[in-house]
Every structure is written in structure tokens, then in C-alpha cells.
Amino acid sequence: MLSQNYPNPFNPSTEIRFTVAKTYRTTLEVYNLMGQKVMTLFDEVAQAGHEYHVRFTGSNLASGVYI
């Protein structure tokens, strides 16, 4: 489950929290509105029931909307 990032909007960084129901390889990627991947934030095995906190720093990216 992916939680709302905080703060939002942000400058220059925000925290993204998530959990997974089953232990599984998990990838968290950031895309611009043109569908281009701009960053991979998490790419490893996530343990079931553990809450992960990932910091997204956009200081090296252009101002805009990212998904």
C-alpha cells in the first residue's frame, strides 16, 4: 500500500511511505508527465508488514509534476 507523500507539494524533498502484503521484489519509480522514468527510488525485496520510508529529492529535476 502506497501512502500519500509528505509534504506535498515539496521543495526540495518529500517522504514516501509504503508497505507490502507479501515479501516481494518491489520497485518504486518516478516518472514525469511525458511518461519518462526520471528516477528509481527503491528496487529491492520488501518484507511483508514492514513500513518503508523513502526520501525523494527533486533538487536536480526541473520544476513540475511527477508521478
What is the value of pTM for the model shown?
Answer: 0.85
The pLDDT assigned to 58 comes to 87
Query: What confidence category does residue 40 fall into, taking pLDDT thresholds of 50, 70 and 90?
Result: very high
Residue 47: is its pLDDT beyond 90?
yes
% of the chain exceeding 70 in pLDDT: 100
Query: Which sign does the torsion angle of CA 23, 1, 29, 60 carry?
Result: negative
Q: Where are the domains of the chain?
A: 13-57
**Which pairs from 62-65 meet CB under 8 Å and 24+ separation?**
64/32, 64/33, 65/32, 65/33
Rounded mean pLDDT, 2-31: 92
The pLDDT assigned to 8 comes to 84
